[in-house]
Amino acid sequence: MAPKNGTTTAASSGTFAPLTEREQRMLFGAIAHCSKNNVEIDYNKFAEVFGLKNAASARTAWAGIRKKIEAVAGPVPKTAGNY
């Protein structure tokens, strides 16, 4: 349903609403600390989707992204509410 004031929402316009800083920390924390298995990347598909040369380039790109995710996530929180 469209908003009454005539504006469009992210869902209705097909655009992505940016995550807040807190949401980003929660997402990164979930990936880094709360996933039951490591995130499994199909590097050939990753390369294809993002226009990279090959799977090796995709693997290198993901390694850099993962380091940034882990840096933002920080250590495993000892108490609730750190995110």
Task: Give 8-53 pLDDT, tens digit per residue.
Answer: 445 555 688 999 999 988 999 998 888 888 889 999 999 999 999 9
In a domain, 18, yes or no: no
In a domain, 3, yes or no: no
In a domain, 26, yes or no: no
* Torsion angles phi and psi, residue 82, rounded to 5: -75, -20
> Residue 81: what pLDDT?
60
In a domain, 44, yes or no: yes
Count structural domains, the chain. Answer: 1
In a domain, 24, yes or no: no
The range of the structural domain enclosing residue 46 comes to 40-75
In a domain, 58, yes or no: yes
Taking phi over 0 as left and psi of -120 to 50 as alpha, with beta for the rest, 51 belongs to left
